[in-house]
Structure 1
């Protein structure tokens, strides 16, 4: 099969949380362990930084990868979900994994897939680990898919664990309190392996400290420094400080990183890693911003961040999955903005009925559109010079715009 056939097969044959939701979620490590065993356990050959957290995983992962790349290391980066191209999930020194590798991996392991029946995320995780081992990456940065303790990526024995923060998200899988969610994320803390933790408070700190003590894992906390960066948004300083802290721990462990190269890297993360979709500006007038914020904590922060821009009217294109606490998110929406609600092609998407109920309940000025591209076109048409068009929510929405 060719590349497109391989991708079609992956999405049609394997349970895929991104499009199917909870039916695709397979907690536990038995499947991924069996799959990796059939591939000669490539994960055991990797020196990995393993990252969990509710928000900021992608930014932190890309910042760590950028600094390592700038310092001359061959770096594998595994993140999810993708926006446009499946291979965005698996990058080496900022370049997407070759199409031929994806095709060969799918073709050569059909019998293994048939025997184990892995989920989409399990097979993608295995592909990433195998690719990074085959291509002899010196350092890999691995983002969890969902949670931590039972996530497929947690078969790793990393050289460093990183936890960004804890918010309310995926409650049907991870628990309905921040302490329960922290317990799941803390599952990536491993015996005698240091852990960098970005945000801790009275609800989450006891969970992290208890787990770290049980595993004899030293906790590192980031400082509060101000970095120059090509990433928009003051909130990125939290992620950059955490990433910088992770690099300092690697230096303690004997890795070489040049201080000036680290600073240079943080100012060109997007160029070094092809990072997209986090408060990314697509045009200047009207200003068009896209952002992957999709839970209440991220959306609240997003509306704070756009205040740094000088604009007249705000036009918001928004779509969300129905397994999020979408009502809490919508309750945070400014009342003086224009909203262009839209759906995407998935059973997980909010639909016209959902948006009509929410729009009326919170007295929003809104219209509904079947697809993101039509909603975006309408927003551009209605906007004027000096306005701001904000596209946010599900990655499926960003796929149609970027």
Structure 2
């Protein structure tokens, strides 16, 4: 079986969330438990960090992996969804899983997969755990797919859990209040395992605190230990000043340019501090703390894009005019994107926008500026929101624009209209950003 045949088989045989939405979800952890038991429970053979939240969990996962790699650890990284290639989901020290490993896994376990009938995501999780175990990683950063409590990744017992933030997204699956969504996210808190909350929120922190107390887990708010002050973007990244709980300042460069990334830094640094504390783990196999120097932290923060391959987060694709893409796709994500726009100088803003069907646009559209030129498009997946329907929704709020079936056509039109001093932003969906030809495969 070739790589292409393996991917085609997985897409054809298994329900895929990014294509059909919630119908692809297999409730409960039974399938992934059975799959991993069949594989020899690979998730028990390496150390992990578990990262959940509404927004920022992907960026935080990449930042953690970048620092651990800089410290010399063989680091696995599991994230989803991918942008250009399925192999982006499973990385070791920044390198995607080889095509032949994917093909061999599917070929070898095809009969069991057909008998179990798992979801696409469950198979992907099993593949990642199996690969990390066979490659003897020192540690793996595992990003939650959706929610937490019933997410397929939630069969690991990590050294530390990180929950970035809570916002309105997937409320049809996770619940119709922030407290209900937080309850699902809090499901990754394990007995006796420290949990870091990147951002304090009056509505959701009590949910996390209650779950941590039930589990006998230490709970830390990242911003209680660290703060990051923004000094603006320079050629090689965003300049920041980090401040620890002892009041010590030190300058740093953040390779992720969006101003919203500062919210993630405190949580990431708190997790790294916990990993580096000696005597934290009662299990003898975990008794040795990780050795992470200040230099490792600074190198990881600065070089995260190059060492882990992260794309699509406030990524500048070209200049004159400035073209930026960002995978923001829900209310808190779009709010962060619009805040980052405030630090960009331009004469006219052009917005290339596309969404999927299951987003509550009433919470999102009001965040978009009135004075931008709009180019509505749609990703090439069944779950896409039709660009004409999207344009109608924006029209209700007094926002008008052209309609395109393809994001690249929309971007070409924006480029034709834009002056060198203008800014073009592509956003609204991970899947819209993924289809940009300017994005590197």
**Do both share a fold (TM > 0.5)?**
yes
Q: TM-score range by the shorter chain?
A: over 0.9
| Aligned match of 2:94 | 94
2:400 pairs, out of 346, 355, 365, with 365
Query: SS of 2:227's equivalent?
Result: coil
| Structure 1 residue 326 displacement after superposition | 2.0
| Aligned match of 2:297 | 262
| Structure 1 residue 359 displacement after superposition | 2.7
| Aligned match of 1:274 | 309
- Taking structure 1 as the reference length, the TM-score comes to 0.98
| Aligned match of 2:238 | none
| Structure 1 residue 241 displacement after superposition | 1.8
| Aligned match of 1:59 | 59
The answer to which of 220-229 and 30-39 deviates more is 220-229
- Report the Cα distance in structure 1 between the residues aligned to 2:214 and 2:80, rounded to whole angstroms: 30
| Aligned match of 1:301 | 336
| Aligned match of 2:68 | 68
| Structure 1 residue 278 displacement after superposition | 0.3
- Native 8 Å contact 2:163 2:197 kept in 1: yes
- Report the Cα distance in structure 1 between the residues aligned to 2:12 and 2:427, rounded to whole angstroms: 27
| Structure 1 residue 46 displacement after superposition | 1.9
- Report the Cα distance in structure 2 between the residues aligned to 1:27 and 1:291, rounded to whole angstroms: 30
| Aligned match of 2:84 | 84
- Native 8 Å contact 2:354 2:387 kept in 1: no
| Aligned match of 1:178 | 178
| Aligned match of 2:236 | none
- Report the Cα distance in structure 1 between the residues aligned to 2:423 and 2:13, rounded to whole angstroms: 41
Q: Say whether 1:249 aligns with 2:278.
A: no
- Native 8 Å contact 2:376 2:391 kept in 1: no
| Aligned match of 1:324 | 359
| Structure 1 residue 264 displacement after superposition | 1.6
- Report the Cα distance in structure 1 between the residues aligned to 2:19 and 2:32, rounded to whole angstroms: 20
Per-residue deviation, residues 130-185 of structure 1 (Å, max 9, x unmatched):
00000000010000000000000001111111100000110011001110000000
- Report the Cα distance in structure 2 between the residues aligned to 1:37 and 1:64, rounded to whole angstroms: 28
The answer to which of 350-359 and 45-54 deviates more is 350-359
| Structure 1 residue 2 displacement after superposition | 0.7
Query: SS of 2:352's equivalent?
Result: strand
Residues 7-18 of structure 1: pairs in structure 2 closer than 5 A: 7-18=7-18
Unaligned runs of 5+ in 1: none
Q: Say whether 1:224 aligns with 2:259.
A: no
| Structure 1 residue 362 displacement after superposition | 1.1
- Report the Cα distance in structure 1 between the residues aligned to 2:435 and 2:381, rounded to whole angstroms: 14
| Structure 1 residue 356 displacement after superposition | 3.3
Q: Say whether 1:150 aligns with 2:150.
A: yes
| Structure 1 residue 297 displacement after superposition | 1.1
- Native 8 Å contact 2:61 2:143 kept in 1: yes
CA RMSD of aligned residues (A): 1.0
| Structure 1 residue 346 displacement after superposition | 2.2
| Aligned match of 1:345 | 380
| Aligned match of 1:116 | 116
- Native 8 Å contact 2:354 2:427 kept in 1: yes
| Structure 1 residue 192 displacement after superposition | 0.5
Query: SS of 2:323's equivalent?
Result: strand
The answer to which of 103-112 and 325-334 deviates more is 325-334
Query: SS of 1:49's equivalent?
Result: strand
| Structure 1 residue 267 displacement after superposition | 0.7
Query: SS of 1:109's equivalent?
Result: helix
- Native 8 Å contact 1:47 1:138 kept in 2: yes
Query: SS of 1:167's equivalent?
Result: coil
Unaligned runs of 5+ in 2: 229-240, 242-251, 281-288
Per-residue deviation, residues 201-247 of structure 1 (Å, max 9, x unmatched):
22111111110000000012221133421110221112122111110
- Native 8 Å contact 2:347 2:423 kept in 1: yes
- Report the Cα distance in structure 2 between the residues aligned to 1:26 and 1:384, rounded to whole angstroms: 48
Query: SS of 1:278's equivalent?
Result: coil
| Structure 1 residue 355 displacement after superposition | 1.9
Q: Say whether 1:128 aligns with 2:140.
A: no
- Report the Cα distance in structure 2 between the residues aligned to 1:206 and 1:363, rounded to whole angstroms: 39
| Aligned match of 2:107 | 107
- Native 8 Å contact 2:199 2:267 kept in 1: no
- Taking structure 2 as the reference length, the TM-score comes to 0.90
- Native 8 Å contact 2:259 2:339 kept in 1: no
